[in-house]
Amino acid sequence: MKLPPLDYICPATLTEAIAALAAYGGNAKVIAGGQSLVPMLAFRLAAPSVLVDIGRLPDLKNISISADGIDFGALVTWRDIERDARLAQAHPLLAAAIAHVAHYQIRNRGTVGGSMAHADPAAEMPGIAVTCDAMLTIVGPTGTRIVRANEFITGGLSTVLGADEILTSIRLPLWKKARRWAFEEFARRRGDFALAGVAAFYDIDAQGLAYNAHIGLIGVADRPMRLPGVEAILDGRRIDADVILQAAAVARDAVDPADDIHAEAAYRRDLLGVLLERALARAADIVLPEAA
């Protein structure tokens, strides 16, 4: 489990980094925290000829909150998010989700940008980005482009990132104060990849009806996904037990998970329904009738 032969460069500026990527064509790979890439190299599942380490690039380690949204530099680590006292208020859904990410050592090194670019279907950050309509900033040789999170991820472990592009930041829209939300995840052991996870939020209008519902799932498809059908059920309704059970039933029908060594597909399908019920009940602060 040693890395294949490869070169390593550690540019000092973004321009240099992009130039290096461009110079190597498709044979270079960006490395940040290395928490996904290094195991893939060790298993020889990836064999780039050069690693471009963006760890020394300036200005990618900040979390900034402005009127435009909450910006996370690509090199922000899970530990940075965990330690940022502002986020519990500024984006409680994100804070709750990130609490499920991996184990201490990984949390200290793994980065927001790395997780997005790796695009594991069970990972929390891509799930939150898709659920919350995050905007991603990508820099390449011809300039900067902004991509919506749901368009960024194009399939299992694949994104729109070009070989000569670098994801530099992720912007989450500002969080409304009175928003109802919950994050539910089920993993075999704490820190393991989720067998399924649900991120949910909605706002409440003056009549007490839900609007702007956002329901996102991880671990049940080849990429994180939204459930527009479930969102449509919630919007304009008072969130009670009936609505929740109806939403969960629609959610179960809306997904088509695959079998793998951790769980059969039917389990994941049912599990996400249970998680959605629990998430919505917690968001609405109601107790569902106990099932057997």
- Which residues of the shown chain bind other proteins in the complex (CB under 8 A)? 1-5, 39, 43-44, 186, 188-190, 192-193, 195, 261-264, 266-267, 270-271, 274, 290-292
Q: Work out how close the CB of 191 gets to other proteins at its nearest, in angstroms, rounded to a whole number.
A: 9
Question: Which one, 22 or 274, has the nearer CB to other proteins?
Answer: 274
Question: Which one, 47 or 232, has the nearer CB to other proteins?
Answer: 47
Distances (CA, A) of 106 to 207, 208, 217: 45, 41, 23
Question: Which one, 4 or 229, has the nearer CB to other proteins?
Answer: 4
Q: Work out how close the CB of 274 gets to other proteins at its nearest, in angstroms, rounded to a whole number.
A: 5
Q: Work out how close the CB of 204 gets to other proteins at its nearest, in angstroms, rounded to a whole number.
A: 26
Token pair 């300036």 in the structure block, residue: 58
Q: Work out how close the CB of 174 gets to other proteins at its nearest, in angstroms, rounded to a whole number.
A: 34
Question: Which one, 69 or 110, has the nearer CB to other proteins?
Answer: 110
Q: Work out how close the CB of 154 gets to other proteins at its nearest, in angstroms, rounded to a whole number.
A: 24
Question: Which one, 43 or 144, has the nearer CB to other proteins?
Answer: 43
Question: Which one, 53 or 270, has the nearer CB to other proteins?
Answer: 270
Question: Which one, 208 or 289, has the nearer CB to other proteins?
Answer: 289
Q: Work out how close the CB of 128 gets to other proteins at its nearest, in angstroms, rounded to a whole number.
A: 22
Distances (CA, A) of 213 to 12, 255, 283: 42, 18, 11
Maximum CA extent, the chain: 64
What is the secondary structure of the chain as a DSSP string?
-PPPS-EEE--SSHHHHHHHHHHTGGGEEEESS-TTHHHHHHTTS---SEEEE-TT-TT-S-EEEETTEEEEETT-BHHHHHH-TTHHHH-HHHHHHHTTSS-HHHHHH-BHHHHHHHT-TT-HHHHHHHHTT-EEEEEETTEEEEEEHHHHEEETTEES--TT-EEEEEEEPPPPTT-EEEEEEE-SSTTSPPSEEEEEEEEE-TTS-EEEEEEEEESSSSS-EE-HHHHHHHTTS---HHHHHHHHHHHHHH------SS--HHHHHHHHHHHHHHHHHHHHT--PPPP-
Q: Work out how close the CB of 267 gets to other proteins at its nearest, in angstroms, rounded to a whole number.
A: 4
